[in-house]
Amino acid sequence: MTLGSAVAGRSVVVRVPATSANLGPGFDTLGLALAIYDELVVTATDERGVVVDVTGVGKGEVPTDESNLVASSIAYTFARVGQPVPGLHLSANNVIPHGGGLGSSAAAIVSGVMAAKGLLEGIAELDIDLMLEIATELEGHPDNVAPALFGGLTIAWTADSVPRARKLLVHRAVSPLVFVPGHSVSTAVARSLQPASVPFEDAVFNLSRSALLIAALTQSPELLFEATEDRLHQDYRASAMPETNSLVHTLRDHRFAAVVSGAGPSILVLASQPSDRAAAAVLVAEHAENPWRATMAAVDFKGATVKAHQVEVKPQQ
């Protein structure tokens, strides 16, 4: 059955970066976009239903129908702006690890919102504030979707229940290094270990470190080690990821600015110069009980992008 959709035949390419939230003290507030990307091609069709082809991370594991997170995010965004949902064909090349604390679900949601924006070009307007609002509604909190949308370092907050974010440029000397294990940790499990209240002095401690971290990431990278100290969440969640906790402490014992990336179990090291990353990688290789993949990633400064997909038509012979 055909739908007669106004967007049928349109096709877009979407590219969304991985993200690391919290960055140590900035719990549920700070996020950083990393130059590790999921990319997909989305085509609107005139037929009912959703078809999803997946290569890379999640192949054979993630849903390939309308329950796929990217597809459901597209449908939600269309409905949010009062537009009928077309048939969809998604071709996804996933690189961001799933369940690793690098914003894979945020990337999928932002991919869907960006795809909807591209498909609805000239039909319905989706400005950046609305996209942040929709993505936050789907994700539940803005700390990962904000850097995925904007790139760079983002500060996220809510005002009158509406999500807001501010993007800051990261100092060029900041050199991220990501360690990804071969296992995942549920974000829900990690959050369940968080206490309902914390000591007053710990709250003050994290306030000071969060403010210092903004300065370290934007102006003074030499302060990154002190600026990434945390007392609000990482130690409480340690039991869910003991090897992550052990390696973070080992790295910090050697003066590396290491933190749990998001809800874990991946680790983010914020080096103040590129050469420090090699030394950190050697340290983890020496102390890890299980294999960890090290990725020397740059900071992504652009955030999510969408453009029309031009299908190459080969001339007949």
Same domain for 179 and 164? no
Same domain for 134 and 159? yes
* Structural contact between residues 218 and 152, judged by C-beta atoms closer than 8 angstroms: no
Residue stretches of the annotated binding site for ATP: 97-107
The residues pairing with 32 across neighbouring beta strands, listed in sequence order, are: 20, 153
Spatial distance between the Cα atoms of 144 and 101, rounded to a whole number of angstroms: 10
Is residue 5 a part of any domain in this protein?
no
Burial (CB < 10 A; 0-12, 13-18, 19+), residue 65, is exposed
Of 181, 147, 180, 143, the closest CA to residue 163 belongs to 143
Same domain for 191 and 95? no
Domain count, the chain: 2
The confidence score (pLDDT) of residue 192 equals 81
The confidence score (pLDDT) of residue 248 equals 98
Of 265, 52, 250, the closest CA to residue 178 belongs to 265
Residue stretches of the annotated binding site: 97-107
In tens digits, the chain (317 residues) has pLDDT values of: 455 578 989 999 999 999 999 999 999 999 999 999 999 999 999 988 999 999 999 999 999 999 999 999 999 999 999 999 999 999 999 999 999 999 999 999 999 999 999 999 999 999 999 999 999 999 999 999 999 999 999 999 999 999 999 999 999 999 999 999 988 877 777 778 878 899 999 999 999 999 999 999 999 999 999 999 999 999 999 989 999 999 999 999 999 999 999 999 999 999 998 889 999 999 999 999 999 999 999 999 999 999 998 655 344 44
The confidence score (pLDDT) of residue 3 equals 56
The SS3 call for residue 232 is coil
Domain enclosing residue 216, as ranges: 175-296
Spatial distance between the Cα atoms of 276 and 282, rounded to a whole number of angstroms: 10
Structure-block tokens of residue 67:
């329950």
* CATH number of the domain within which 111 lies: 3.30.230.10
